Structure 1
Amino acid sequence: MQVTPPAHRPEPSRFRSDFLSDGFFGKLARFGAVGVLNTIIDYAVFVFCFQVMELEPLVANTVAFLIAVNFGYVMNKTWTFRDESRGRIAVTRGILFLASYAIGFVAGSVVLWLASSYVDPRIAKIASIGASLVINFILSKTVVFRSI
């Protein structure tokens, strides 16, 4: 009887392992991936509202925020932070998420308003996204999805 050795399975790459882990770098990587998708949605809606619908930059930014924040909440709750809370805890986290992203929205809107005085609003929006990103990650990790 001949014994066949088990098939060799290559070790997962360090990046893949970190990306899928629940440690800090895994959460940061997933937050970044969600952030990229969220940014695309945010920017695309902003440009559409500003350029096609001819809304003022701050109004277009508000519409884009309202659409993107819903996507961001669902993805960050279910995938980035793997939060399985239900009931009052889930409602509390939803309110905290909205409040923390509102802070990021205000900071980004201030950057958009100031930068729009010097550059095209579509360029200023990119700077406002950067300001919001930093605030949103810090508040999501330390306030919204912390262990309760």
Structure 2
Amino acid sequence: MADKRLLSIVKFGITGMSGMVIDFSLTWLFKDVLHVNKFLANAIGFSAAVMSNYFINRIWTFQNKAKISKQLAAFITVSIIGLLLNSMVVYVFNNLLLLNFYLSKIIAVGLVFLWNFSANYFYVFKSTKEQNTADL
């Protein structure tokens, strides 16, 4: 069980790294190239990464076969909370502590990772994971 959880954390981390590339690339494009408000740019990058991460985590990390509609709604809810946490951390570190925007975003990604993994492992993918193993 502990080995399986560790493997899930590693897979979740790898998936998160791919999402971080999507997040940072789109945030940079919208903020620095298209000159969109930094918080809107942050939300766009974050949202695109969330959608990518959902499907990778569903297929690879958690190998889950639940109905997409309910599960995706739960994943998006967890991600919206993650976005709010992410934006709050970016705001505090960038606007109040005057750290570089992208350094603030890296700190936010690290902190929000803890929330995202826990909520997805114990809430979004848990119920159907138990059903999948019960079917064996």
Q: TM-score, normalised by structure 2?
A: 0.86
Count of matched residue pairs: 124
1:76-117 residue CA offsets vs partner (Å, 9 max, x unmatched): 11110000123xxx3111111000011111001000111112
Task: State how 1:15-94 maps to structure 2 within 5 Å.
Answer: 23-86=4-67, 90-94=68-72
1:125 to 105, 108, 126: 105
Task: State how 1:103-142 maps to structure 2 within 5 Å.
Answer: 103-117=81-95, 118-142=98-122
Structure with higher RCO (Cα < 8 A, 6+ apart): 2
Task: Structure 2 unaligned segments of length 5 or more: list them.
Answer: 129-136
1:144 to 94, 112, 124: 124
- Show structure 1 runs of 4+ deviating over 2 A: none
Structure of higher CA gyration radius: 1
Q: Percentage identity across aligned positions?
A: 24
Q: TM-score, normalised by structure 1?
A: 0.79
SS of 1:147's partner is helix
Counterpart CA distance in 1 for 2:89 and 2:7 is 29
Contact preservation (8 Å) 1:104, 1:131: no
Counterpart CA distance in 1 for 2:127 and 2:103 is 37
C-alpha RMSD of matched pairs (Å)? 1.3
Residue 125 (structure 1) shift: 1.1
